[in-house]
Amino acid sequence: MAVDTADQKVAPAGARVRRTRTGKELIYRHSLLVRLTHWLNVLFILVLLMSGLQIFNAHAMLHWGIKGDEADPAILSIYAEDQVEGPPIGWLQIGSAKFNTTGWLGVFRDRDGFLSGRAFPWWVTLPSYQSLAEGRRWHFFFAWLFALNGLAYLVYGFAARHFQRDLAPTGVDWRGIGRSIVDHLKFKHPRGDEAKRYNVLQKLTYIAVVFILLPLMILTGISMSPGIDSMATWLPDLFGGRQSARTIHFIAASLIVLFVIVHVLEVLLAGVFNEMRSMITGWFAVKPEKGTKP
Partner 1 sequence: MKRELITRRAAVLGTMSAGGLILAGCDKLGQNQTFAKVLEGSEKLNLTGQRLVLSSSAPLAREYSTSDISRVFKANGTIRPDGDEYRNLALTQFANWRLKIDGLVMKPVSFSLEELKAMPSRTQITRHDCVEGWSAIGQWTGVQLSYLLNQAQLKPNAKYLVFRCADDLLMSQDGSGLYYESIDMVDAFHPQTIMAYAMNGQTLPIEHGAPLRLRVERQLGYKMAKYVMQIQAVDDFSKIGLGKGGFWEDRGYEWYAGI
Where on the chain is the footprint of partner 1 (CB under 8 A)?
Answer: 55-56, 58-59, 61, 63, 66-72, 122-123, 126-129, 131-134, 136-138, 140-141, 143-144, 222, 224-231, 233, 242-243, 246
Helix (H, G, I), strand (E, B) or coil at 191: coil
Q: Which is nearer to partner 1, 68 or 157 (by Cβ)?
A: 68
Closest contact distance (angstroms) between CB of 72 and partner 1 is: 7
Q: Are 224 and 242 in contact (CB under 8 A)?
A: yes
Q: Which is nearer to partner 1, 148 or 280 (by Cβ)?
A: 148
Closest contact distance (angstroms) between CB of 229 and partner 1 is: 7
Instruction: Give the largest CA-CA distance in the chain.
Output: 78
First to last CA, the chain: 19
Judge residue 183's burial from the number of C-beta atoms within 10 Å of its C-beta, 0-12 exposed, 13-18 middle, 19 or more buried. Answer: middle
Q: Which is nearer to partner 1, 72 or 82 (by Cβ)?
A: 72
Q: Which is nearer to partner 1, 23 or 226 (by Cβ)?
A: 226
Query: Taking phi first (over 0 means left), then psi (-120 to 50 degrees means alpha), and beta for anything else, what does residue 92 get?
Result: beta
Closest contact distance (angstroms) between CB of 149 and partner 1 is: 14
Query: What b/e sequence results for 248-261 when a residue is b if at least 16 CB atoms lie within 10 Å of its CB, and e otherwise?
Result: bbbbbbebbeebee
Closest contact distance (angstroms) between CB of 179 and partner 1 is: 31
